[in-house]
C-alpha cells in the first residue's frame, strides 16, 4: 500500500504525480533527473521542474535485501527485482547511476545497512539530520540538498550551516540558493550565524544586492560579514566600491585582519593606486598582523602591477613563509615588466629550493617568453610541463603559445598549433591568433581565425572590435560596415575602454568617448597644442622592406615617412615653406646617410629644429658604422637602446649574422641576423670561424705523396 502525504499540495505542484499513479503499485528508484526507466515503469509524465522531488511516504519492508540481488528484467537493468514488494520508493539522488550495475548494488547494500536513503512516513527529523550530514561528509552535497528539498522538513541550524559551508567550499552557489529557498518554504528563520553564512554565499556568487539585504538585517556586524562584502565587490571588479566598504568598516571601529588586507591589496592592484596601497601596507605593519601566503601574494601583486618592482621583491625577500604561490607571483611580476632574464633565474631558483612549478607558474613564464619574443625558450618550457613536471597544459597555456608564435610572425605555425591542440574548440586560442594576425597584417588568416572564433563565442564584443579595426587598417571599409551592422543587429555592445592615472593621491579615470572628467577641457587644449606640432620622418631609400614611403614598428603600426638617398635633398623635396613650419625631424636608419653630421648640425644650430636620430653605432663585427658616433659631442642626450638576446633573454647589444654574407651594409630581417648578448656573440663568432676553417680544409687539394 502506498500512502502520499500532503496530497493536495503534491497534486498542485507536481503534475508528474496523478491520482491514477498514486493508486498503482510500483517499485521505483527516484532521483533528481527524470530517467527513461522511471517514466516507463511508472508512466509518470516528465515534470516541468526536474529538480522537484515530491515528498512521499511509503511502507518499507525487506527492500534493501531485494536490491542486493541482480534482476533478470531488461527494463530494470539490475535496479529492482521481480519479487520486490509493491509500494516502495528508494531515494538515490545524483551520480549513483553513472557507475556499473555491480558497483551500484554493492554501494547500495553497504549504505543501506545503516538504513539510509529511505523516505518513509516514519522518518524523523533526527534520521533526516543524520542522513544529510553523512552525505555532506562524503562530499555528495547535491544528493543531500535533493533529499532536503524532497522531505520538506526543517533541520537543525548546524545542519543548514554544514550544507551551506559545503556549497561555499565547492562553489556550488546555485545549490546554496536552493537551501535558502527551502528555508523560506518551510518557514525556517535563520539565526545570526546562518545569515552570515548566507551573506558569504551570495557575496561569492556575485549577488551583491541580496548580500547587502542580509548584511543590513544583521543585528551585530563583526569582521566576518564586512570581509565577505569587501571580497564580493573586489571579486566582481567593483574595486572602488570595495574600498568604500572598507572605509565604512574602519569608521564602524573595526580593526582589519589578514582577509581584509588580502581583498584591499587586490583592489589597489586593479586600480594601480600605489600611494594608497603603501598606506594600507603601513597599516598592516602597524597592526602587527602576521601575513600569510595569501596576503603576501596579494601585496606583491599590488606592487608589481603598480610598477614598483623593488618593493615587490622586498616583500618576497622578507616573507617568512614561501611556497609555489609566492614564487609564481614573483615570476609573474617580473615577467609583466619584461625582465625575462630575472624570470628564468627565479624559476631555476624555485626549482633548486625544492618547489615544483604549477600551472600558474608556467603561465607566467610562457607569458614572459611571449612578450620577449623568445619562441624556442617558450617551446622548451611548454614541452617541459608534462615531460618533467607532470603539469597538464590548459587552454590559457595554449593561447599564450599561439600568441608567442603569432608575435614572432609564424602565423602558419600558430594556426597548425591551434588545430592540433586539445582546445581547438575553445575561443581563447582563436582569439590569440586574431590578435597576432592583426599585428602582421595577414588578412586571409584573420578571416579564418575570426570565422572559427565567432562560431564558438558569437557574443564577444571585444573581438568584433578587433576584427573591425583590422579591416579598417587594411582599408576594407565594406567589411568594417558589415561587422558594425552585425553588432548592432545582434545587440552586442562593447563596454567603453578607459585609462586611469594616480596623481597627488587621487585616481583619475578617462573613458573613451566621454567628457566626464573635471579637467577635460584643459586636457583637450594640451592635446591640441601637441597635435599641431609639425613632424617629418626621414628614412634611407635603401630600406624598402615594408614599403618605400613608411616605417613599421614591431607592433605592426605604420608611420608615413620621406625616403631619401641623402639628407641634403630633404629641404628641397619638402619645400622651403613647409621646412620653415617644421618643428621636429626624425631620422631612421641614420647610419646609411653620409652627410648625417652636417645636416643635424645645421638643422639644430642654424634652423632651431629638434632632431631625433635613430641608427646603429656599429656593424655586425662591432666596428664603427656610419657617422652616428660623430653626433655624440654635439648631442643634447644620448640613449643606447638594447634588444633581448634570442638565445638567453638577457639584454642584447650586438648583432649576430645567421648567414655567411660579409657585406657591411645589409638590410634584412630576422632570417639573416638576430640580437644577442656579449656571451652569445663571442660564442657565435667562434663557432662560425671554426666552421669556416673546417670547410676550407675540406676544399683544399690533398697531395698523394707519390
Evaluate whether 651 touches 687 at the Cβ level (below 8 Å): no
If you count them, how many residues does the chain have? Answer: 706
How far apart are the C-alpha atoms of 585 and 216, rounded to whole Å? 64
Evaluate whether 535 touches 609 at the Cβ level (below 8 Å): no
State how far the alpha carbon of 548 is from the alpha carbons of 32, 539, 544, 569, 590, in Å.
Answer: 70, 9, 5, 17, 16
Contacts of 567 (CB under 8 A, 6+ apart): 538, 587, 593, 595, 596, 599
> No. of H helices and E strands in the chain?
32, 16
Active site residue 380: no
Evaluate whether 246 touches 256 at the Cβ level (below 8 Å): yes
How far apart are the C-alpha atoms of 340 and 31, rounded to whole Å? 55
- How close are the terminal C-alpha atoms of the chain, in Å? 118
Contacts of 587 (CB under 8 A, 6+ apart): 537, 538, 539, 567, 593, 596, 600, 611, 612, 613, 614, 615
Q: Which residue in 589, 602, 665, 696 is the catalytic one? A: 589
- Helix ranges (H only) for 236-273 are 239-251, 258-271
Cα-based angle 664, 666, 667 (whole degrees, multiple of 5): 150
How far apart are the C-alpha atoms of 284 and 300, rounded to whole Å? 14
Evaluate whether 541 touches 565 at the Cβ level (below 8 Å): yes
Cα-based angle 7, 10, 12 (whole degrees, multiple of 5): 110
The alpha-carbon radius of gyration of the chain (Å, integer) is: 35
How far apart are the C-alpha atoms of 550 and 543, rounded to whole Å? 10
SS3 70: coil
How far apart are the C-alpha atoms of 575 and 263, rounded to whole Å? 61
**339-371 burial: b if 16+ Cβ within 10 Å, else e:** bbbbbbebbeebeeeebebebbbbbbbbbbbbb
Q: Which residues pair with 651 in a beta bridge?
A: 644
Active-site residue list: 589
Amino acid at each position: 500500500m502506498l500512502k502520499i502525504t500532503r496530497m493536495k499540495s503534491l497534486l498542485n505542484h507536481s503534475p508528474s504525480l496523478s491520482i491514477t499513479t498514486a493508486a498503482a503499485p510500483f517499485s521505483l528508484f527516484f532521483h533528481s533527473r527524470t530517467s527513461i526507466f522511471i517514466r516507463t515503469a511508472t508512466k509518470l509524465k516528465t515534470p516541468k521542474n526536474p529538480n522537484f522531488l515530491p515528498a512521499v511516504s511509503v511502507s518499507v519492508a525487506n527492500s534493501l535485501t531485494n536490491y542486493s540481488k541482480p534482476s533478470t528484467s531488461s527494463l530494470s537493468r539490475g535496479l529492482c527485482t521481480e519479487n520486490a514488494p509493491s509500494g516502495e520508493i528508494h531515494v538515490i539522488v545524483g551520480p549513483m547511476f553513472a557507475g556499473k550495475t555491480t558497483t551500484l548494488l554493492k554501494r547500495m547494500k553497504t549504505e543501506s545497512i545503516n538504513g539510509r536513503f529511505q523516505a518513509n512516513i516514519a522518518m524523523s527529523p533526527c534520521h533526516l539530520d543524520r542522513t544529510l550530514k553523512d552525505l555532506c561528509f562524503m562530499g555528495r552535497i547535491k544528493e543531500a540538498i535533493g533529499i532536503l528539498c524532497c522531505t520538506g522538513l526543517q533541520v537543525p541550524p548546524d545542519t543548514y550551516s554544514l550544507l551551506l559551508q559545503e556549497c561555499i567550499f565547492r562553489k556550488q552557489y546555485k545549490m546554496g540558493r536552493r537551501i535558502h529557498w527551502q528555508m523560506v518554504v518551510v518557514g525556517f528563520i535563520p539565526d545570526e550565524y546562518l545569515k552570515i553564512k548566507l551573506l558569504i554565499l551570495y557575496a561569492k556568487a556575485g549577488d551583491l544586492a541580496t548580500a547587502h539585504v542580509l548584511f543590513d538585517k544583521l543585528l551585530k556586524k563583526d569582521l566576518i560579514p564586512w570581509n565577505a562584502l569587501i571580497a564580493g565587490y573586489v571579486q566582481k571588479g567593483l574595486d572602488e566600491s570595495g574600498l568604500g566598504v572598507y572605509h565604512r568598516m574602519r569608521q564602524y571601529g573595526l580593526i582589519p585582519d589578514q582577509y581584509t588586507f588580502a581583498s584591499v591589496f587586490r583592489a589597489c592592484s586593479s586600480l594601480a593606486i600605489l600611494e594608497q596601497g603603501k598606506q594600507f601596507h603601513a597599516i598592516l605593519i602597524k597592526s602587527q598582523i602576521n601575513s600569510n601566503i595569501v596576503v603576501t601574494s596579494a601585496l606583491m601583486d599590488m606592487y608589481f602591477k603598480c610598477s614598483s618592482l623593488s618593493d615587490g621583491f622586498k616583500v618576497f625577500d622578507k616573507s617568512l613563509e614561501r611556497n609555489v604561490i609566492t614564487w609564481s607571483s614573483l615570476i609573474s611580476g617580473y615577467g609583466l615588466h619584461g625582465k625575462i632574464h630575472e624570470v628564468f633565474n627565479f624559476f631555476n631558483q624555485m626549482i633548486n629550493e625544492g618547489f615544483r612549478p604549477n600551472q600558474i607558474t608556467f603561465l607566467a613564464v610562457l607569458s614572459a617568453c611571449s612578450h620577449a619574443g623568445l619562441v624556442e625558450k617558450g617551446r622548451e618550457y611548454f614541452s617541459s610541463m608534462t615531460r618533467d613536471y607532470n603539469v597538464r597544459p590548459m587552454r590559457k597555456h595554449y593561447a599564450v603559445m599561439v600568441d608567442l608564435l603569432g608575435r614572432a610572425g609564424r602565423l602558419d605555425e600558430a594556426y597548425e598549433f591551434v588545430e592540433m591542440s586539445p582546445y581547438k574548440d575553445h575561443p581563447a586560442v582563436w582569439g590569440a591568433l586574431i590578435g597576432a594576425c592583426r599585428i602582421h597584417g595577414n588578412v586571409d588568416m584573420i578571416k579564418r581565425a575570426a570565422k572559427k572564433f565567432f562560431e564558438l563565442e558569437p557574443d564577444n564584443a571585444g573581438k568584433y572590435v578587433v576584427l573591425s579595426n583590422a579591416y579598417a587598417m587594411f582599408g576594407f571599409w565594406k567589411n568594417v560596415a558589415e561587422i558594425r551592422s552585425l553588432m548592432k543587429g545582434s545587440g552586442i555592445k562593447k563596454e567603453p575602454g578607459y585609462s586611469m592615472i594616480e596623481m597627488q593621491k587621487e585616481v583619475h579615470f578617462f573613458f573613451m568617448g566621454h567628457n566626464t572628467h573635471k579637467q577635460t577641457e584643459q586636457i583637450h587644449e594640451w592635446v591640441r597644442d601637441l597635435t599641431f606640432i609639425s613632424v617629418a620622418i626621414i628614412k634611407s631609400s635603401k630600406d624598402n622592406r615594408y614599403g618605400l614611403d613608411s616605417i613599421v614598428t614591431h607592433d605592426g603600426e605604420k608611420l608615413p615617412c620621406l625616403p631619401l638617398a641623402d639628407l641634403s635633398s630633404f629641404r628641397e623635396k619638402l619645400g622651403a615653406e613647409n621646412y620653415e613650419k617644421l618643428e621636429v625631424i626624425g631620422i631612421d636608419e641614420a647610419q646609411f646617410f653620409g652627410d648625417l653630421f652636417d645636416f643635424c648640425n645645421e638643422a639644430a644650430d642654424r634652423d632651431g629644429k629638434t632632431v631625433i636620430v635613430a641608427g646603429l653605432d656599429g656593424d655586425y663585427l662591432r666596428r664603427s658604422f656610419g657617422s652616428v658616433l660623430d653626433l655624440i659631442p654635439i648631442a643634447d642626450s644620448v640613449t643606447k637602446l638594447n634588444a633581448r638576446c634570442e638565445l638567453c633573454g638577457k639584454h642584447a647589444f650586438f648583432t649576430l649574422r645567421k648567414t655567411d654574407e660579409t657585406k657591411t651594409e645589409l638590410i634584412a630581417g630576422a632570417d639573416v641576423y638576430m640580437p644577442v648578448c656579449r656571451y652569445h656573440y663571442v660564442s657565435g663568432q667562434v663557432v662560425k670561424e671554426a666552421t669556416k676553417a673546417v670547410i676550407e680544409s675540406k676544399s683544399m687539394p690533398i697531395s698523394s705523396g707519390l
